[in-house]
Chain A
Amino acid sequence: MTPPSRRAYALEQKARGRKVAAVFPARYPAELLWARDVCPVEVWDPPAGTQAAQAHLQANVCSVVHRALSLWLSGGTGAADFLLFSHACDSLQNLSTLVPDLLGEGRPCLFFYPPKGRRDDLAEGYLERQLEALSERLDEAAGRPREGALERAVAWGEARTRALNDLYDARAGGRLAASNGEFYAAVRACEYLWPEEAVLRLDAFRTERSGPSASGIPLVFSGVLPQPAGLLPRLDDLGVRIAEDDFIACGRRFVRGSLPHSGEPLPTVARRFLALPPCSTAGSPVPDRLDFLTRLAGRSSARGVVFLALKFCEPELFDVPTLAEGLRSRGIPCLVLEVEMGGDVPAQTLTRLEAFLESLP
């Protein structure tokens, strides 16, 4: 049961009377949108090429931003009623102002600034105020939520988190018979499916594919997202099984384990947001990321960690040297692969990967 395309899905949602928001990376409180009957459709690696954006962006800007702008320029976000930009890095920050302020986007553009590098009471307080401010903007763009809608949305968020945890547990435990490509097709549908549907599909996928995983070399992958697209089938060919991941778009998007609660819905959203796995875009301390990766490797019996370092992605590229060094000193082999988005995997990248596999003890 392949999920529909984002564009088709967005139109279908609109036909059902929902509003649609185009959401740019990385982290945002989806619950606030769901509560207002808005379906967020995330823009990570649209098949928009990078041509159109070249007149607006320097060549040394990452392909997430190039593709996002190309998509927007080519009318690919046309179905959206409004745009939501979350502050993830300098490049996405500038994209968020370029589009409305210099390129003339007329639809509402909403901004969300998650606190960086701090997790204290001040950060939590500011996050709550940001959620309130975003709620106000959403009220203007999509109307106020109906009675009990926010509580319902919070519950959907919890259900989706549980479904993702169950699926990741099954994979890490070797109890999921799915190719790398099938797994990520299922997980990445969360980037746009309405939460209730996402949960149904995730659970169905896990039940259908329940069974021993294909034998192969279990590895943890880290990075922004599983790109280039041709990598996943190549990994299947090479006998590599991604057993856990720390992709911003996947394994870092949900709270591992149980979710924090706080009587009121908005503070609950805030606390859950802060409980997300450590991330470069949030300015998380690297030791936290190191512990997280070590835990992922341990629970999935992985034999090593592969970093897909997306070319020009500053937040990730800054953390990788210390992470790699730290993992090696803990006896976990790792490989840093510089990657760009696209179809097939460059021969040189494959050579590195194969040489790494050959060198595993």
Chain B
Amino acid sequence: MSALARLRYRLVKDALLPAALALKRGGKKSRPPDPLFGPPLKSTSDLRRIMARHYALASHAKGAMPVAWVTSGAPVELLRAFGFYTVYPENHSALCGARKLGPEISAEAEARGYSQDLCSYARVDLGHAFSGKTPVGSLPAPDLLFCANNICQTVLYWFKALSREYGIPLVLLDTPYLHGGRDEASAFAYVEDQLRRAVTDLERFARKDFDEARFLQVLESSRRAARLWGGVLETLRRRPAPMTIFDAFVHLMPIVSLRGLPVCERYYEGLLAELRDRAERGVAAVPGERHRLLWDNIAIWFALGPLARLFAEHGAVPVVATYTHAWAETAHQMDLQNPFAALARTYGGIFLNRDLAHRRAFLEALSREYAVDGAVLHSARSCKPYSIGQYDLKQSLRETPGIPSVVLEADMTDHRVWSEAQARTRLEAFFEALEGRGIGGSSDQGSA
């Protein structure tokens, strides 16, 4: 790492970027109010600035500090303690998806023989690695890869491919899938051992001793951010909800990409205050809120806007999602007395790494807590661990707690498999059935 690069990074971070972003804020035009939606969240402009800064800094990080590409379920706190700059390929792929660039960038991976049936996050990321194509200017090439297979096995195959492409080491956290609670202790012990081993590996890689005090600071910050994020989501229990899950999908970015950093906490403090204020004053995200819904699985990034509109037109408000809860679910319990064991439990025990009985209970609990009338299950073509089982979860949710649901076949980023007309028909039929229930229809109608 060069001193010059470090200096340049600091200069950009502390002086140039804040000035540039302040200018940009001044120039932002406000849109006319949309009668379907409540007033826009003020925090959104902060979010834009934070994310713009994150990606702008990224291009200066190379050489100034070691750069790690990590999976969304990786214990990033460990890397932060060593001063790594972290990049989240999943987040970057989601961003490419939102800009409708998924097919174009993934075509670069497909041209290298990666099948179109593979995860589109991975295809977009590999396509970016092969071609440099990205809507964010440039991403710093990784010096190290860190992968945890707690969210899926796919990330392991994908990061193996990255490791070969860049010729750099891959640190793997192997988190055994949990069936019931019986093997938990031995699985967590294995994960904990690997975390300690990772410390030794990272010390060697970063040529730096492990700073335990710094690590604890980061953990504490991460835990606080998770609690704040949990608080943010809880405000959606209010009727009418002060924001929708479609908003939350966007405001999720800091907890995914920046947790453990002060900026992440600060951001959620602001967002939480704004939402609490809205809730108190009865400000609705969707003034015509009639149906409260649960969303299952990752967002359909390329259709977020049209879907928000379609839902709002029918007074349908998604108020809770398994996906957004993933970052509030376990991290707040971290026991800092025993940091490695805590990290192992937190990352080894996330809901995607647990059986479908646990998922069912999780869905049921969220449905009750947020008083939902129905659920939209996004069956993501890319994401098998999240999607396989949804057809039966749908049946099961209809029995207890008796909520109807609809399965939406789509993808996170590849809009080639998406038919807007088809989705619209399916959702509208579902909303019509929900209306029917409201005026005394049978509970079965909603199960489109």
The residues of A with any CB-CB pair to B shorter than 8 Å are 55-58, 60-61, 65, 87, 89-91, 93-98, 101-103, 111, 113, 115-118, 120, 122-123, 125-126, 129-130, 133, 280, 283, 285-287, 309, 311-312, 314-315, 317-322, 324-325, 336, 338
Contact = CB atoms under 8 A, between A and B. Distances in A.
A318 B158 contact: yes
A285 B161 CA distance: 9
B115 A101 contact: no
B379 A58 contact: yes
B160 A285 contact: yes
A87 B158 contact: no
Contacts of B176: 87, 113, 115, 126, 130
A97 B356 contact: yes
B113 A336 contact: yes
12 contacts: A56-B392, A58-B381, A58-B391, A94-B384, A95-B388, A113-B183, A115-B190, A116-B174, A122-B197, A123-B174, A314-B154, A314-B384
A113 B391 CA distance: 25
B322 to A, nearest CB: 15
Contact of A126 (B186, B387, B392): B186
Nearest to B197: A122
A12 B340 CA distance: 51
Interface string B120-155: 001000000000000000000000000001001110
Given A58-B387, A115-B174, A318-B158, A101 B113 contact: no
B388 A61 contact: yes
Contact of A94 (B182, B190, B388): B388
A314 B120 CA distance: 12
B117 A101 contact: no
A90 B357 contact: no
Considering residues B152, B158, B179, which has the most beta carbons from chain A within 10 angstroms of its beta carbon?
A: B179
A311 B117 contact: yes
B443 interface: no
A286 B149 contact: no
Interface string B340-363: 000000000000000111001000
Interface in B389-436: 389, 391-393, 395-396, 409
B113 to A, nearest CB: 3
Contacts of B114: 317-318, 321
Nearest to B387: A58
A143 to B, nearest CB: 19
Contacts of B355: 97, 101
Contact of B153 (A55, A115, A314, A319): A314
A94 B160 contact: no
Contacts of A325: 112-113
Contacts, number: 151
A306 B437 CA distance: 56
Contact of B172 (A87, A97, A118): A118
Interface string B351-384: 0000111001000000000000000000101001
Given A90-B152, A90-B153, A129 B384 contact: no
A280 B157 contact: yes
Considering residues B122, B152, B157, B183, which has the most beta carbons from chain A within 10 angstroms of its beta carbon?
A: B157
Contact of A317 (B118, B156, B379, B387): B118
Nearest to B193: A122
Contacts of A123: 174
A102 B393 contact: yes
B118 A318 contact: yes
A130 B149 CA distance: 18
B388 A318 contact: no
Considering residues B149, B172, B389, which has the most beta carbons from chain A within 10 angstroms of its beta carbon?
A: B389
Considering residues B355, B356, B357, B384, which has the most beta carbons from chain A within 10 angstroms of its beta carbon?
A: B384
Interface in B163-190: 164, 172, 174, 176-177, 179, 182-183, 186-187, 190
A324 B388 contact: no
A97 B197 contact: no
A330 to B, nearest CB: 15
B194 interface: yes
A287 B161 CA distance: 11
A60 B357 contact: no
Given A126-B186, A314-B153, A90 B113 contact: no
B389 A98 contact: yes
A325 to B, nearest CB: 8
Closest 8 CB pairs of A and B: A321-B113, A318-B157, A94-B388, A97-B355, A101-B357, A102-B392, A126-B190, A90-B385
B118 A314 contact: yes
Contact of A55 (B154, B194, B385, B391): B391
A94 B381 contact: no
Given A56-B392, A286-B160, A321-B112, A118 B174 contact: yes
A130 B184 CA distance: 11
B119 interface: yes
Nearest to B355: A97
Contacts of B161: 286, 318, 321-322
A96 B379 CA distance: 19
Contacts of A283: 149, 153, 156-157, 160, 172, 174
Given A117-B172, A321-B112, 15 more contacts: A57-B391, A61-B388, A93-B153, A94-B384, A101-B355, A102-B393, A111-B183, A118-B172, A122-B190, A122-B193, A125-B193, A286-B160, A309-B115, A314-B118, A325-B113
A111 B179 contact: yes
Contacts of A65: 388
B157 A338 contact: no
B396 to A, nearest CB: 6
B384 A90 contact: yes
A318 B193 CA distance: 28
B157 A314 contact: yes
B385 A93 contact: yes
A117 B174 CA distance: 7
A102 B388 contact: no
A133 B187 CA distance: 11
A93 B388 CA distance: 9
Contacts of B388: 57-58, 61, 65, 90-91, 94-95, 98
B156 to A, nearest CB: 5
A315 B157 contact: yes
Contacts of B113: 320-321, 324-325, 336
Contacts of B119: 314
A69 to B, nearest CB: 10
A318 to B, nearest CB: 4
Nearest to A113: B176
Contacts of A322: 161, 164
A61 B391 CA distance: 13
A102 B360 contact: yes
B177 A93 contact: yes
A95 B385 CA distance: 10
A281 to B, nearest CB: 8
